[in-house]
Amino acid sequence: MWKDESLKILKNYFGYDSFRKGQKEAIENIMLGKDTFIIMPTGGGKSLCYQVPALLLEGATLVISPLISLMKDQVDTLNNMGISATYINSTLNNIEIDERINGIRNNQYKLIYLAPERLDSMSSILKMNNINISLIAIDEAHCVSKWGHDFRPSYRNVQGFINQLVQRPRVLACTATATEIVKEDIIKLLGLKAPNVFFTGFNRENLNFKVFRGENNDKFILDYIAAKNEENGIIYASTRRETEHIYNMLCKKGIKAGIYHAGLEEDIRKEMQENFMYDNINIMVATNAFGMGIDKSNVRFVIHNNMPKNLEAYYQEAGRAGRDGEPSECILLFNSGDVSTQRYFIESSTLSPDKKTQEYDNLRAMVDYCYTSKCLRKYILEYFGEEYLKKSCDNCSNCNNDIEEKEITLEAQMIFSCVYRLKERYGISTVVDVLKGSKNQRVLKLSLDKISTYALMKDYDRKYVEEITNKLVADGYLITTNDEYPVLKLTLKAVNTLKNKEKVYVSVRKVKQVQKTEDGLFTILKALRKSISEELNLPPYIIFHDSTLKELSTYMPKNEEEFLNIKGVGESKFAKYGERFLEAIIKYTEDNEIKSNLSDYSPKEQGETKKKIKSYYETYELYKKGLSIEEIAKFRGLTELTIQNHIFDCVLEGLDVNLDDFIPEYMEDKILEVISNIGASKLKPIKEQLPEEVDYAAIKAVICKHNL
């Protein structure tokens, strides 16, 4: 019974016809009363695995999460769907907390989101009021493990909290990334009882992974964003100073950007995050303090301005792109200084020797990712212990040949000679100053203008010399020391080049022309979604995801039933927003004389045709019984606009319809007069020349009646 109900819930509330890989099996395991462990990639649908059972089970579901922003997003989304949910965390004042606790006591909520720090106080509330908790879901479960990339000490209290409950509920642990050692730690520390593990794989095929070494990061970022047509993206930097530099650079160029790091006041961080979530700004520049639990579905790209400390952190942060399944890019800009920065973070930490050793090993794997010539997707998946059989994914910079080889032997020899003449005592900046023939005070004071390589590259662009030098470091011809002021040193490869034993090639990014194109209807629907989001004070993606808007703009449904067959549209959402979106779609198709594309909608094409014909006849039978459009709509639970469209489809099928029912009294001649003057090819110009009470239905009725 519950299996049928789970599909109804999935369709009616969430707008999907079938579960994704692993969801159905995990839900079945939960419903059988067993502990469950889910490992699904970011955007893989972990939330549904506890939200659907929450609606099937008696009592409430408790969701433990460290992600304050995610709590609010998910609760807003659930309430918007008609599902009662709440959260308790540090963002609420005492009065708000008391109100929500009273709601919990009165069994008002099906889902309760709770920060782990609130477990002690919640335990006594649940016991005192004998509240039935049927399921506990622990999100971001890797936070319990000290070997995980985001260890939270408060997660160690979860097992004790569960054990204190009068009746132990079934327990679900969820995470997006977990190595084998972390997985074992999670099961042990959360006290999971013989859990069935559902691992759907870490692969996210919609993400395009790219690594570029030795780029001029500022130029790359500005050029990239200029080609992205105001798409949403996140730029991560490793330090607050880098974050502020990039943010200021973007603002000076008039780009709608925000900034987020731990050094900002809390109210500023909150404002920046809300501006990003509500699409008031397109780009968020942030340290890794931003993003845990950000549920924004339409992030089209994530750029790492610096290399993160390990692949777990990188994959988690990069995974904030494309949560809606649409194609998105994850770009890592690697420079040699990134390694020194991350080593410094490890060395200055208070970690134990064992943990430091592991951090260094993880850093080495991250560096290897930046250098590898094999498929980037394959490298990531194999790191997490997942076999990837394809040699090429056709969706990363190594497989797509986004880079090309360029010989720079002459330039390399000039740079190597300068480093040698400077006796390997200076850093990149000074080497470039000498090669460019700088007359700055330091160069002159140190008499560096007297060495033979001074001004050797004076005709080259300074940024080009800097880029080439960084690439030579990245490719192992030069190394930088780990001193407070790093200096350049030659490697054996550089010596061989100076002796003409080896040529130097560097990988450079192919420059591709990007055309800015965006579907007209998609733009209209985005604007409508933004307007509704401002009216209701909800983030736009909570109303409809970009992927839903793209399907709407592709298939252009013209009635409620067709609209409900679009991915991501449930009955609750249609009741709230559907008519406004339908009106926009119908107006667009009429203005541009476009037919609906739902006949191309796969895989439901055959079933949809049968349902559509049956529905038209049902409407037609009620119409022939003398019911008005308003009465039919109320009887069938459909909108008046949908019923109107049913009637006109019946006209096109040759059924007997009195079209005068749709034409306002004394307006038929006026409509005919306008049509005779400007023609019947487009409805909008006709509508503009008629009184307001004449709608599109009246115009279509006149055209059909007179076969115009």
* Angle of CA points 148, 263, 301, to nearest 5°: 60
CB 99 within 8 A of CB 24: no
pLDDT in tens, 96-114: 988 998 898 888 999 999 9
Residue 214 predicted with pLDDT over 80 = no
**Looking at residue 55, what is its pLDDT?**
93
In this prediction, residue 169 carries a pLDDT of 92
More confident residue, 508 or 551: 551
Q: Over 80: is that where the pLDDT of 446 sits?
A: yes
Phi-psi region of 229 (alpha: psi -120 to 50; beta: other; left: phi over 0): left
Identify the band that residue 1 occupies on the pLDDT scale cut at 50, 70 and 90.
low
Q: Would you state the pLDDT for residue 576?
A: 86
Backbone φ, ψ for residue 64 (5° rounding): -95, 125
Q: Taking the CA atoms of the chain, what radius of gyration do you get in angstroms? A: 31
450 pLDDT band, cuts 50/70/90, is very high
Instruction: Examine the pLDDT at 516 and tell me if it is beyond 60.
Output: no
Comparing 209 with 461, the larger pLDDT belongs to 209
State residue 517's pLDDT score.
47
pLDDT of residue 121: 80
Whether 140 and 65 have beta carbons less than 8 Å apart is answered as yes
* pLDDT tens digit sequence for 249-264: 999 999 999 999 888 8
**Tokens standing for residue 704:** 């059909």
Third-level CATH fold of 207-402: Rossmann fold (3.40.50)
Q: Which two tokens stand for residue 463?
A: 């940024």
Decide which of 634 and 191 is more confident: 191
Is the pLDDT confidence value at 519 over 50?
Answer: yes
Give the pLDDT band (50/70/90) at residue 292: low
What was the pLDDT predicted at 507? 65
Residues 6+ apart with CB under 8 A from 531: none
- Predicted confidence at residue 606, as pLDDT, reads 31
Helix (H), strand (E), coil (C) string for 189-233: HCCCCCCEEEECCCCCCCEEEEEEECCCHHHHHHHHHHCCCCCEE
Contacts of 612 (CB under 8 A, 6+ apart): 561, 562, 649
CA 455 to chain centre: 48
Q: Under CATH, which number does the domain 405-509 receive?
A: 1.10.10.10
First to last CA, the chain: 54
pLDDT mean over 678-694: 79
pLDDT band for position 608 (50/70/90)?
very low
Categorize the per-residue pLDDT at 227 as very low, low, confident or very high, splitting at 50, 70 and 90.
confident
pTM above 0.75, yes or no: no
Model confidence at 149, pLDDT cuts 50, 70, 90, reads: low
pLDDT in tens, 366-413: 888 887 777 899 989 888 888 887 878 889 988 887 777 778 999 999
User: What pLDDT does residue 547 have?
Assistant: 83
> pLDDT exceeding 70 applies to what percent of the chain?
91
Confidence of residue 529 (pLDDT cuts 50, 70, 90): very high
Average pLDDT of the residues in 69-97: 87
- Residue 330 phi, psi dihedral angles, 5° rounding: -125, 110
Residue 273: pLDDT band (50, 70, 90) is confident
**Reported confidence tier of residue 602, pLDDT bands at 50, 70, 90:** very low
Tell me the mean pLDDT in the region 75-87. Answer: 90
Q: Is the pLDDT of residue 291 over 80?
A: no
**Under a CB-based contact definition with an 8 Å cutoff, are residues 317 and 302 in contact?**
yes
Mean pLDDT value of segment 189-218: 89
- Cβ-contact 152, 143 below 8 angstroms: yes
Predicted pLDDT of residue 352: 83
Using CA atoms, how far apart are residues 142 and 702, in angstroms rounded to an integer? 65
Mean of pLDDT values over 116-140: 84
Per-residue pLDDT, 348: 85
Cα separation of 58 and 61, whole Å? 9
Query: What mean pLDDT do residues 527-548 have?
Result: 88
pLDDT at residue 331 in the model: 96
Mean pLDDT, rounded, for 228-238? 90
Average pLDDT, the chain: 84
Of how many residues is the chain composed? 708
2-199, CATH topology level: Rossmann fold (3.40.50)
Judge contact between 322 and 299, C-beta under 8 A: yes
Q: Which residues partner with 71 through β-bridges?
A: none
Domains 2-199 and 405-509 share a fold: no
Distance (Å, whole) CA 304 – CA 284 = 12
User: At residue 46, does pLDDT exceed 70?
Assistant: yes
Average pLDDT rounded to a whole number, residues 486-510:
86
The pLDDT assigned to 456 comes to 94
The more confidently predicted of residues 429 and 693 is 429
The top-level CATH class assigned to 520-705 is: mainly alpha
Amino acid of residue 704 = C
The Cα–Cα gap between 543 and 205 comes to: 25
Residue 527's H or E segment, with its range, is helix 520-536
Q: Give yes or no for a contact between 266 and 239, defined as CB atoms under 8 angstroms apart.
A: no
Helix (H, G, I), strand (E, B) or coil at 508: strand
User: Does pLDDT of 675 surpass 50?
Assistant: yes
